[in-house]
Amino acid sequence: MSGTTDKIQGTANEAIGRFKRHLGKVTGSPAMQGRGAILQAKGKGQKALGGIKRIVGRVTAAARWPR
């Protein structure tokens, strides 16, 4: 996956996780809260990975450019 795709999927997972966590809080379901927290953390990780991929891509492109 590209860095942009990772960031988009990460944002979606983070939002869905936040929704599930709050839904679990409202319904009193600790299992739903836990699943939401895990999904939210996964989204944050995906966004970070996407940022790293974009930085690496830019650095490698800059290193190849003058040739």
Q: Which residues of 27-41 are buried (b: 16+ CB within 10 A; e: fewer)?
A: eeeeebbebbeebbe
Q: Is pLDDT above 80 for 67?
A: no
User: How many folded domains does the chain comprise?
Assistant: 1
What the block records as the tokens of 9 is 């999927």
Structural element, H or E, at residue 22: helix 3-27
Query: Mean pLDDT across the chain, nearest whole number?
Result: 93
What percent of the chain has a predicted confidence (pLDDT) above 70?
A: 97
pTM over 0.75: yes
Q: Is it the case that residue 22 has pLDDT exceeding 90?
A: yes
Give me the count of residues in the chain: 67
Give residue-wise pLDDT tens across range 39-60.
999 999 999 999 999 999 889 8
Residue 13: domain span: 3-64
